């Protein structure tokens, strides 16, 4: 799933460590999330959208599997 977590984090001048502390997750989770290798729980997605003051849809781009279409 493509996302804009890295861009939003940088816009706020936050490090990965600072973001992980605010969200109570590991830095590795943030790294994986930013690389698109981790799909967050709905709770984490809501926390991110609240922190970045945007909607979940603005933060994450859902790409359907071709086999599901």
pLDDT tens string for the chain (69 positions)?
899 999 999 999 999 999 999 999 999 999 999 999 999 999 999 999 999 999 999 999 987 766 655
Please give the angle made by the CA atoms of 30, 12 and 36, to the nearest 5 degrees. Answer: 30
Name 3's bridge partners: 60
pTM for the model: 0.86
Rounded to whole angstroms, the Cα distance separating 4 from 2 reads 7
Q: Is residue 38 within 8 Å of residue 20, measured between CB atoms? A: no
Rounded to whole angstroms, the Cα distance separating 59 from 12 reads 14
């Amino acid at each position: 799933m493509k996302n804009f977590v890295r861009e939003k984090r940088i816009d706020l001048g936050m490090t990965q460590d600072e973001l992980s502390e605010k969200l109570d997750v590991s830095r590795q989770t943030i790294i994986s999330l930013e690389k698109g290798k981790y799909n967050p729980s709905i709770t984490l997605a809501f926390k991110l959208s609240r922190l970045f003051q945007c909607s979940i849809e603005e933060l994450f781009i859902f790409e359907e599997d071709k086999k599901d279409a």
